[in-house]
Structure 1
Amino acid sequence: MTTQNSNHPCACGSYAFEVLIHENVGGDKVWQQKTTGCAATTQSTFAPGHDAKLKSLLIAAGVGGHPVRQTTRDTVVVKDALKVAADLGWRDLVGEAIAKGSS
């Protein structure tokens, strides 16, 4: 008999990773809260395509020089986008994209 793993929240989580980005909205510079907007469950680490959503968020944060806030249960940690990417094993990929986006 084969047992199936139960679903658990996607690692990008709805507010697990968030960034405040200062951007133009209707001609005004305002702070916008950006998250992956994820409420999915999955049997693996990320729901399909959600690793890409998180990478995009990290790249945008890195290009703008914005810190990333990561919330896990009752712990909040604020890190540089590249450090978060390194924790996830994406340092080179995200670092290259940040370098291209900031040049």
Structure 2
Amino acid sequence: MLSPMTTTTPSNRPCTCGSYSYLVLVHEGAKGDKVWQRRDTGCADTTHRTFAAGHDSKLKSLLIAAGIGGHQIQQVSGDVVTAKDALRVAADLGWEDIVREGIARGRGNRP
């Protein structure tokens, strides 16, 4: 039997959904200056899993919204930012069909 001091508990880490976002152009000035707004899941939770409970759905919704708008998804990991198409991110996560259908519905197309 393990004593309480020798048991291991998975350490909490940031929920993965919080590392994804995209930018939306909200204003373009006459001089070419642009104002962008970051859209993300709003997640600051920690978990011992990849996603906090229900946060895979939050990320799917974010991917669908980005896909509908044609925005690149950015994933931040430490000092590295990776930008990909929403469907590519979804495919990497095993959700390509779900996200593709959501994007099609959002654009008023049949999946």
Shorter-chain TM-score above 0.5: yes
The total of aligned residue pairs comes to 96
TM-score (normalised: structure 1): 0.83
**Aligned-pair CA distance for 1:31:** 4.0
CA distance, structure 1, for counterparts of residue 69 and residue 36 of structure 2: 12
Residue ranges of structure 2 left out of the alignment (5+ in a row): 27-34
Give the alignment partner of residue 76 of structure 1, picking from 75, 78, 81.
Answer: 81
Matches within 5 A, 1:1-80: 1=2, 3-13=8-18, 16-22=19-25, 31-80=36-85
Over the matched positions of the two proteins, sequence identity in percent amounts to 60
Large movers: runs of 4+ above 3 Å: none
Task: Note the C-alpha offset of 1:66.
Answer: 0.8
Structure with bigger gyration radius: 2
The aligned counterpart of 1:27 is none
CA distance in 2, matches of 1:71, 1:93: 23
- Cα RMSD (Å): 1.8
Distance (whole Å) between structure 2 residues aligned to residue 98 and residue 31 of structure 1: 22
